Structures are given as C-alpha cells and as structure tokens.
Structure 1
C-alpha cells in the first residue's frame, strides 16, 4: 500500500468507495433523501475536491467481489448490522464470498477506513446481541470482521462531551489536534480490541455519565496493519456537526491518506501501554421492558 501513489498516473484521483448499507439502525447522517447525497457524502465530496479523491457512494452489498473492489484505492464503511442480510434498509446484502473479498482486498495492499457504526457491524454471534453476551470479549472467537476492524460496539449512553487523549501525535492528521480533543458526540462504548491495534486516542470513560462508561479508559481511534494493507477506525461520526468539525476532518483525512499509502506511519501495537485495562467492559444492565399503554 505504501507504493500505491507511485503506481497512480499523474493527476489521477484516488478512488474511494463509501459504503453505507444499514442492515441495522440507519443513521440520519448517511441516509439518502429523494435521491440526493447524504450529509456525510456532501462533506466527503468537499474533502475529495481538496485532496484529489473520487468517491463512489453505495448501499448495494451484492456488488462486493474481487473484481468490483479492485477499482478502488480504499473502502470506507459507515454501516450497521449483518451486512449479509437485507435488514433495515432493504438494500441488496453482501454474500459471504463478498465479505471475504473485502478481507482479501485489504490484505493484498489496499486501505479500509471505518467510521462510527462500522463497529456496530457483523457482531459476533449476532443472535445473542441483545443479552449479556453483548458485553463479553470473544477474543480469537470473535467474528472475523471484528478482528479485522480492531474492535466492536457494545452500547452508547446519552450524547455528551467527552475528552479524548491523543496517544500518537505523529500519526497523519493528528499534528494539529493537540494533546486532546473534546466534542459533544454519541460516544460508543467498545470492546474486543484486536491486540495488535495501534491506538491513536483514548476516551476518558470514568469522567462520563452513564453505566455504559463505567469502565477504564479505552481506545476511540486506532490503526492496524492487515497483511499488506491498512485498517483505520474512529468511533466519531454520529452528529452532522462532527462531520464539519476541523479536528474530525483532519483525523479522517489523515486516516484515509495513511490507509491508501499516501502518508506513512509506524503502527506498532501499543494497547497495553496506553489503555492497559481496555478489556474491562461496563456492567450488563438488563433493558427495561416496553411500557404498556394505560388500560392494557
């Protein structure tokens, strides 16, 4: 992937697939209305114009194949649920072969970037996700996608401001961020971190409100190598104002550049050093049953 820029023709734009199928919950920021690009897609078009990137926007999982993916320099996910089922949005699902094609594509030297609910995708043991198993670490038994991405979504509390400490200011996109960043956002509580991730920022969970954050600090943005390719993930991206925030745009732009090999970085595993208690998950609290209407 590091050599990718050398292989591109002069002035040829990098091609990125932004895939937003929602087999689970569909976020407003990536929802198509009246055939118009979503809010996130409009922002990406602006970033693409500044950086020489050409985006393809899709919700069609059936397109995933080695041949289809080969045209892109990177694939970017803002997805939910089991993408091998039609699910909430009813768009065509991936096949198991298409899912494997994604893994092979990245391993061969391409880039992958996940934003926000990319970690709420392909859950381990999908049928058990509404109970206590949601709060367990599965380690090597986790779904291959979870191992590939580097972590998995558990739950989120109310939107609130939270402090994220930068753990590698030298990584592309973090040079202007400073020692920490703090936003109002829907912050994901995450688990099952792949041991080889290179953590770029950790979230100060103990200072946050809600049982979902009753745990030590844990990674909120990271990078890892997958074969010859690169995987980057950030938990941010729920709110529209995050997508227009300069800090988020710097982090996302840096992640994309690194994923495609346009910029380089050392991504040695550092989870034990910067978030030694990250595998401690919040306590499971059974959800209250739905309220019945009066008189029923």
Structure 2
C-alpha cells in the first residue's frame, strides 16, 4: 500500500483477515486516503473497528429515485459539485461514529412509507490519525455511476482524502502537461451513437503523450521507440534478448491490392545500452 495515495473500496466482502485489516488501518492512520463507496459500509463485519473508521455501517435499505441534499457546500470534498437525482438504494446506517466526522450530504424523508423519519447522513468525511476518510452511500449501479456529477463527487472525495500536499502535486502535474487540442470533423466514426460525436484529437509528441499514460505501481514509463522508427503498431512482443518485435499496419483500414502490401514486422533493438532502440 505504500505505493498508493488512497484506497477506494467498492465491494461486498463480509470479512477480512485481521492482518490485512491492520495493514489497511496503519495505511490510513499514517496519512493514506480511504474512500469506501456505497456497499463498502457493509464490509468486514468481523472487525467492529471498521465501522468506526468508516464513520458508520450499512443497516438496511429500500429503493427510490431521490436527490441527496448537500448541507456543507463549502467543504473541499464537495464544493461546486452539483446535486444529482438518480435511482439508488435508500441506505440507512447504524453504528455511527460522529467523532471527527463532518456530514456533507443527507437523504431527506421523501414519503410516509420511507425507511427513515429524519434526515439520514449520506455523504461524509472524517479524519483517522493522519489519514482522511471519504464515504458516500450513493452508487448502486450505472444509473448513478454514469452521472458526471457523481464522477465529480468521487474525484473531489479522492483528492480531499489524499491530503493537501499530494493534491497540490497532482494539480501541478496536470497544469504542466501539454494540453490536448481537438477539432470537430464530419468523418469521425460514432459507433456508440453518442449524442455528440467525439472530436478529432491532434497528436502530441511521444514525450508529451507519456504524461497522459498511467503506469502500474512500482513501474516507470520509458520511451523505447517512436515515429518515424515505427508506424501504426498493432502488436508488440519482447523476446528473451530484450528486442521488441512490432507488427505495423500501414494498409488497414485502406484498400489492399491483390498480391502486394505494405504491412511489416520490425525487430527493434537497443545495441548501445542507452534504453532507446537504434
């Protein structure tokens, strides 16, 4: 976990190994972010302390179309996030831990047969040791996850949970990247039937493109080959000598003439040990 700034939990895991819980708890209390979402507040029933770290535990629910009400609009974890209405499960929580907790949103009583009689805490934040916890009960399925407002809520919550220094580092990194530029064109395929077809994106240099690529934890991204050494690669494979085999498609999706073609297989090798193919 030391390779990560935050852990997001969205799952139905009834139990957790005590050693795993101790690792997660230590991660949080030493400054890591923890973002349990929706059903995560039901997890790990064998660890009563988990409820206190989250700030509460799922108890029961019905379903409805409703709009959580924001009651702390100036908090950094929700500031400028629009309220949204969607079908979702109407969570009711138990084992609340108000210690260090700030409720950002509540679900209000809707009808006489509602499963609450007073506003139910819905989205909240709290501090645990040096770490921060962001929780929202929203998020049963795509009817919520597909909403841009919900995406923005999660983004704000995650960035708040990782702390001010890491958030500033992230925001500075984004500002320093070469911006993406687009142009509307009439010949862009729209297989998904989007209301607004995707625009044409102008290319970046390989070096600038790398800043838009996320490498797995414990890995770093290095540039080995780029145009004009390779063109339109569709398959890459490394061999035991550290050479990169590349299948290039020049003809597809253009017309292919009988008996001739321009597609190639190239073998790229770094012969002088500088990390770049030559």
- Fold equivalence (TM over 0.5): yes
2:88 alignment partner in structure 1? 185
Please say if 1:152 is aligned against 2:57.
Answer: yes
* Offset from partner CA, 1:87-136 (integer Å, 9 cap, x none): xxxxxxxx21111111111000110001110111123xx6xxxxxxxxxx
SS of the residue corresponding to residue 121 of structure 2 reads strand
What RMSD over aligned residues (CA atoms) do the two structures have, in Å? 2.0
SS of the residue corresponding to residue 146 of structure 1 reads helix
1:170 alignment partner in structure 2? 74
Task: Give distance in 2, aligned partners of 1:166 and 1:194.
Answer: 20
With the length of structure 2 as denominator, give the TM-score of the two structures.
Answer: 0.55
Paired residues of 2:92 and 2:116 also in contact (CA < 8 A):
no
Please say if 1:202 is aligned against 2:106.
Answer: yes
CA, structure 1 residues 209+236, in 2 after alignment: closer, same or farther (shift >3 Å)? Answer: farther
SS of the residue corresponding to residue 84 of structure 2 reads strand
Task: Give distance in 1, aligned partners of 2:139 and 2:75.
Answer: 19
What displacement does 1:240 show? 0.8
2:15 alignment partner in structure 1? 83
1:51 alignment partner in structure 2? none
* Offset from partner CA, 1:43-71 (integer Å, 9 cap, x none): xxxxxxxxxxxxxxxxxxxxxxxxxx111
Task: Give distance in 1, aligned partners of 2:35 and 2:149.
Answer: 17
Paired residues of 1:171 and 1:254 also in contact (CA < 8 A):
no
What displacement does 1:77 show? 0.4
What displacement does 1:176 show? 2.8
Aligned partner of 2:39 among 117, 140, 144: 117
Paired residues of 2:65 and 2:88 also in contact (CA < 8 A):
yes
Please say if 1:102 is aligned against 2:24.
Answer: yes
What displacement does 1:241 show? 2.6
Paired residues of 1:201 and 1:219 also in contact (CA < 8 A):
yes
Gaps of at least 5 residues in structure 2 are: 169-278
1:31 alignment partner in structure 2? none
Task: Give distance in 1, aligned partners of 2:111 and 2:12.
Answer: 25
In the comparison of the two structures, how many residue pairs are matched? 165
Aligned partner of 1:218 among 120, 132, 139: 120
Task: Give distance in 2, aligned partners of 1:208 and 1:157.
Answer: 12
1:269 alignment partner in structure 2? none
What displacement does 1:198 show? 0.6
Between structures 1 and 2, the one with greater helix share: 1
With the length of structure 1 as denominator, give the TM-score of the two structures.
Answer: 0.52
* Offset from partner CA, 1:222-279 (integer Å, 9 cap, x none): 0000000000100011111311211111110000001111459xxxxxxxxxxxxxxx
* Offset from partner CA, 1:156-180 (integer Å, 9 cap, x none): 113x1123211111223533334x4
Pair member with larger Rg: 2
SS of the residue corresponding to residue 3 of structure 2 reads coil
Please list, as runs of the form range in 1=range in 2, the aligned pairs for 1:226-245 lying within 5 A after superposition. Answer: 226-245=128-147
Consecutive aligned runs of 4 or more in structure 1 exceeding 4 Å deviation: 208-211
CA, structure 1 residues 251+235, in 2 after alignment: closer, same or farther (shift >3 Å)? Answer: same
Choose between structure 1 and 2 for higher RCO, CA contacts under 8 A separated by at least 6 residues: 1
